[in-house]
Structure 1
């Protein structure tokens, strides 16, 4: 999402720059048809870039319209069955007219029942797959079976009633509906228990505050681009009008500033940025500790430590290096496509560099050869510096 927003922002910035150049050219040569054509083309490019920047909002509106259309289609299907009642207007037999009306009502009700019981069975299967409680899982599966079987029996009774619309068949149809009603009531009672009650999604004040820079910058960018396109149209009609050109320049400047704010906000608010900064600070501290130990090794002023043996420090280094190696691919994947995991993984990775540098310094203190001391410290520093560059790359995305 972050990369798509940045790409849209860059495209809008390029379109804005092209529009400014075209407007300047049209202002300097107002009678040049090529300049006017270039201005119109730049205006269309800016409009297209604005639409791309707002595509997410447009997609949401389109989805809502499709959902509403689907609801209207389902409603119209039911109304179509009910509309068959109008056939009784041309029917002179009152007895058959009354029977036809009742049959239409039964078929309409059957359509509604079948539609909703199907959705209810699907919801039971979904709830069964989501819950970790084995008792609840079995209860949802059994409820789906009860609703499905009751619906099937009701449909059979309705078919019989449709073929022979008698009082006896109507009574059987009513009796077949009662098990379905009982199964639905039992499922409703079970699903309404506190264990399965859903909680409405809420955005915390902190989340709203974090969203505000991106939302306000994006809104300012789109509003400014719309005003800019309007001014460009007026400028194309009357390129010699200085006030319109000044208005266009003001809107162009506001769009450029909004784009800069949007790009900056996206980078600052991206997941894992704070954790990356903290990890970078930890790595810098480890590098400084290794530098100081290297200088002490060169001057042969390293003080020996006795809390561990040389083998103990080596095992500490090996264990930390192995954990860092295993986390490298996970951090890379998080930086590329799993930004929600980036903060946690870079924090874990940085936490192993303290023990790694401490083990290197401790091992160097117990090695008598100064060249070997410098060598082990330099190798550890190279690993830390490589990880530091890796952290910067992850932070930039």
Structure 2
């Protein structure tokens, strides 16, 4: 199997890496982090100008026909820069819902707006009782003349407080945990009956809890089958997991690079601390953990197009487990090898560890995905 990038992919990687290195340094990120919105409209526009916001969409819908590998390249750069803009939420996650579930007419209406940076989307799916069970949806959608009325509450909606539109899951039929009977609805957060409670997350991003009190959604804003959206949700979340794995690899790569540079420059007892063999061994262990994570991130990227849902889920769970283990180890080692400076909020390495910690929790932590692998056919059997 060929793991080499094509010429076009290498050009994309060089372009994206240069753009983030030039315009999204750590000082710039700290300014964005401290701003009221918590993200930069200017940076979002720059991503649009580079074609990144339309990357995974089909050219016929207004995109650039990119695939999972191209998304991985962008997400690694986002991980290294710790970019705060809602790329994963709008382009990857909600974008996958549009690509796999929306009608041609709805895609034609929404995708160009996303690609041009005029529309921010957020996927409102998680609920208090559900934890990470994708089919556990208590929010209800009742059929009325001309559309549906939604009632319920969504929690931890990343970018929910800044989104122009919310992609909301709600149950039109069946019991609370059944996969069948779930629909997807496009909701304007300014609609009557919608309440948005925004807050900052542990890593500085913005999220929100969304209240829905008899919110009307017209038929034109129903995404796909109003009772058969679960496969679309599972597919979209799978693509988001692969993208998060790539982002984590970028953050781990940056943490290791910063740590090695620090070991080469920090002096103690008249010599650089990188000359101490014990610290060299710890840096080598970090490198091994990074390469393990990188391999599994590639595996996740290759698995998102797997048509068999069981095999796809097993591969993504395995990748998420390794990403969580490697991220925790590399983050801890980076903090410890930096000493006191690693604990300060004025230094990037601590922010990298925070982001890696949050990535582990998104869409299921290590324990959750180990349980998924244990309850399922197992990675070897699934493959």
* Fold shared, TM-score > 0.5 on shorter chain: no
Q: Normalising by structure 2, what TM-score? A: 0.26
Q: Normalising by structure 1, what TM-score? A: 0.25
| Larger fraction in strand | 2
